[in-house]
Structure 1
Amino acid sequence: MALDIVIMAAGKGTRMKSSLPKVLHKLAGRSLLQHVLETAASLGADRIITITGHGAEQVEAAVQAPHLQFVRQMPQLGTGHAVQQAAPSLHADGTTLILNGDVPLIRAETARALVEACGGERLALLTIELADATGYGRIVRDGEAVRAIVEHKDATPAQRAIREVYTGMMAVPTARLRQWLAQLRCDNAQGEYYLTDIVAMAVADGVPVVAAQPAAEVEVLGVNSPVQLAELERLHQRTLAVRHMDAGVRLADPARFDVRGTLTCGADVEIDVNCVFEGEVTLADNVRIGANCVIRNARIGAGTVIHPFTHIDGEALGATVGERALIGPFARLRPGAELGDEVHIGNFVEVKNSTLARGAKANHLAYLGDATVGERVNYGAGSITANYDGANKHRTTIGADVHVGSNCVLVAPVTLGNGATIGGGSTITKDVPAGSLAVARGKQMVLDGWTRPVKQKKA
């Protein structure tokens, strides 16, 4: 039996006060709509049909999922009208699951349970009881049987007192859905076509209307304003924090912890406050992350310490740090940084597209770009690889056991042989043989009896 998923994503989101379409605002590093699409894809749908409208081109270019197609709702005349646009793309039979693009945290288990409640022959609604049901359609029952959904604006005072509400998500036999969509009318307070009117049609046709509930309220919370987005972000991050702590991660403060992607942790990982993890991040056993670090697309080896205020951004290339390394504070690792075991990268050191072998050290105020650094190298303060000639990047190769003094410039392409020593303040433009000392700086001059200029006093 075919499963089609329809995702409502056409709204403007006026209360967001933003030129960005509402469903593209981000929660935990991904757009609201992308969260829903990932859940939909996990259900094995035959088709995922996303209904766009406001900012349609921008929305369609920004998201992706297997078997995804788009239909547009122009103009936006209500939820029923939106699904009418998708109807021609649905399979002739099977089940249609309807989700909302601005309700990002619906779990796959809940969506699957809703489809199972439908069973291809019932109208299944996802409902929940709320302390404050303002703005939601109310579930009207006759005993246990669901008889109708009444929109908040059309509800009587008695109906508004009902706490069980419709979440905007349902599963429907597709053949029935097509039939009911053709019968929708817009004779209501808003002059819109309400999808919820199909409940009364199902009752009239003798089709059972059943309800399923999510495990937690957070699954059905939508986003209509920046305040709601921020509140949902904190609820989601708290859930992630608890999940990591249950797995053994020690968080100094779960309220000051953000995952905007995927974070995988080994045993005995410790994370201090105000740390942000983006993209794909892996922390092996016994890693310690200091306060105020930002780590994106990186793999950190066992026993490594990332000191406070370190910024690691692997971007598409990724960044890797070996075991028992010491990084920071105030260090920056950029794409292509590959650090071996026991490497030390200190304060205000930047590494980009470079490999550092076991035990190499750059402890402060240095830059390594497009470099290959051997074992046990000591790279002095203030030293840089001049890797860019204004048009092309060039590589610097530093052999094992090289000592680079402070305030040196290594002008690539250049190779320093094993065991070479570079005198402080040198600008190196030619290869240095193994075991050699290279000094390239101006001769020091000393002028005896020299007097500093004195500022002239005005008369």
Structure 2
Amino acid sequence: MALDIVIMAAGKGTRMKSSLPKVLHKLAGRSLLQHVLGTAASLGATRIITITGHGAEQVEAAVQAPGLLFVRQMPQLGTGHAVQQAVPQLHDEGTTLILNGDTPLIEAATVRALVDACGGERFALLTITLADATGYGRIVRDGEQVRAIVEHKDATPEQREIREVNTGVMAVPTKRLKGWLARLDNKNAQGEYYLTDIIAMAVADGVPVVTAQPKSETEVLGVNSPMQLADLERRYQRARAEALMEAGVRLADPARFDVRGSLTCGSDVEIDVNCIFDGEVELGDGVRIGANCVVRNARLLAGAVIHPFTHIDGEAQGVSVGRGALVGPFARLRPGAQLGDEVHIGNFVEVKNSTLAKGAKANHLAYLGDATVGERVNYGAGSITANYDGANKHRTVIGDDVHVGSNCVLIAPVVIGAGATIGGGSTISKDAPAGQLTVSRAKQVSLEGWTRPVKKR
């Protein structure tokens, strides 16, 4: 039996006060709509149809999902009118599941239960009871039977006292849905075609209307303003933090912690305050992350320590940090940085597209780009690899046990042989032999009798 999913994403989101379409605002690093599409894709749907309207081109260009189709609602004449635009894409038999593009945290298990409650024969609504139901459509019952949904603006004072509300999520037999949508009218306070009016049609046609509820209200909270978006962000992050702590991760303060992707942690991991994890991040056993760090697309092996204010961003290439390595504070690891075991990267050191073997050290104020660094290398303060000639990148190879003095420039392509020493202040543009001292700098001169200039009065 076909399962078609319709996602409502046509609204402008006036209260967001933004030129960006509402469904493209981000929560935990992904757009609201992308969260919903992720849930939809996990359900094994036959077809996913997203209804766009305001900023349609921008929305359609920004999101992707397997088998995703778009239909446009122009102009926007209500929720019922929106779903009418999707009718030509719906299979004649099966179930249609309707989701909201601005309700990002609905869980797949909740939606599956709703589809099961429908069973291709019943009208299944996802409802929830709220302390403050202002603005929501009220569920009107006759005993246990659902009779209708009344929008807040059309509700009587008595109906506004009802606390059970419509979440906008429903699973409906598709053939029935098509017939009900064709009968909608706009005789209401807003002059719109309400999707919720089909409930009364279902009751009149003798179709059972059943309900299901989510585990928590967080799943069904929509975003209509920056304040609501911020509230949902903190709810999401708190849930992630609690799950990690239940698994044994020590968070200094779960209220100051953000995951914007996937974070996998081993045992005895410690994370200080104000850290952000983005993309795919893996922390091995005993990893410690200091305060105010950003880690994106990186793998940190057991015992690695990331000191405060370090920025790690692997982008597409990724970053790897070896066992027992020490990084920071105020260090930057860029795409392609691969640190071996027990490597030390100190304050204000930047590493990009470079491999450092076991025990190598660059402790302060240095740059390593497009470099291969051997074991136990000591890379001095203020030294850099000059890897870019203005058109192309070139590689620097530094052998095992090399000592590079302070304030050196290694002009790539260049090879520093194993055990070599590079004298401080040298500019090296030719290969340096293994085991030898190589120095390249101007002769030091002292001028007797020289005096400094003075200001003219």
* Coarse TM-score class (shorter-chain normalised): over 0.9
Return 439-448 or 318-327, whichever deviates more: 439-448
> 1:379 Cα shift?
0.3
- The residue aligned with 1:50 is 50
Q: Which residue of 2 aligns with 1:95?
A: 95
Q: Distance in 1 between matches of 2:204 and 2:239?
A: 42
How far is 1:285 from its partner? 0.4
SS of structure 2 residue aligned to 1:157: coil
Give the distance between the partners of 1:150 and 1:455, measured in 2 at CA: 84
Report the count of equivalent residues.
457
2:286 is aligned with 1:286: yes
Q: Which is worse superposed, 266-275 or 58-67?
A: 58-67
Match in the other structure for 1:270: 270
Q: Determine the C-alpha separation between the residues in 1 that align with 2:75 and 2:117.
A: 33
Matches within 5 A, 1:60-99: 60-99=60-99
Shift of 1:64: 1.0
Equivalent residue number for residue 333 of structure 1: 333
Deviations 1:183-237 (A, max 9, x none): 1011111111100000000000000001100000000000000010001100110
Q: 1:38: which partner in 2? A: 38
Matches within 5 A, 1:189-268: 189-268=189-268
Question: CA offsets per residue over residues 29-64 of structure 1, 9 Å max, x none?
Answer: 000000000001111111110000111111111111
- 1:447 positional shift: 2.0
Following superposition, the deviation at residue 398 of structure 1 comes to 0.5
1:295 to 2:288 alignment: no
Quote how far apart the aligned CAs of 1:409 are.
0.3
- Give deviations 1:147-169, integer Å, cap 9, x for gaps: 00000000000000000000010
**SS state at 2:255 partner:** coil
Supply the distance in 2 between the matched residues of 1:16 and 1:455 (Cα, whole angstroms): 59
Q: Which moved more, 1:442-451 or 1:373-382?
A: 442-451
* Aligned-pair CA distance for 1:449: 3.5
What secondary structure, in the 3-state scheme, does the structure 1 residue paired with 2:70 have? strand
- For 2:375 and 2:179, the matched residues in 1 are separated by 72
| In structure 2, distance between residues paired with 1:420 and 1:170 | 71
TM-score by length of 1: 0.99
SS at match of 2:61: helix
1:371 aligns with 2:371: yes
Specify the SS of the correspondent of 1:431: coil
Match of 1:165 in 2: 165
Partner of 1:407: 407
Mapped pair 1:148 → 2:165: no
C-alpha displacement of 1:362: 0.3
Structure 2 residue ranges without an equivalent (≥5): none
The residue identity in structure 2 corresponding to 1:213 is Q
Q: What is the CA–CA distance in structure 1 between the aligned matches of 2:114 and 2:249, rounded to whole Å?
A: 34
Following the alignment from structure 1 to structure 2, what is the Cα–Cα distance between the partners of residues 380 and 398? 13
Match of 2:433 in 1: 433
CA distance in 1, matches of 2:89, 2:23: 22
Match of 2:180 in 1: 180
Displacement of 1:18 in angstroms is: 0.6
Q: Alignment partner of 2:158: what SS?
A: helix
Amino acid at match of 2:426: S
- Distance in 1 (alpha carbons) for counterparts of 2:217 and 2:454: 76
Which segments of 5 or more consecutive residues in structure 1 lack a partner in the other structure? none
Deviation (angstroms), 1:450? 2.9
- Name the CA distance, whole Å, in 1 between partners of 2:162 and 2:282: 47
What is the match of residue 9 of structure 2? Answer: 9
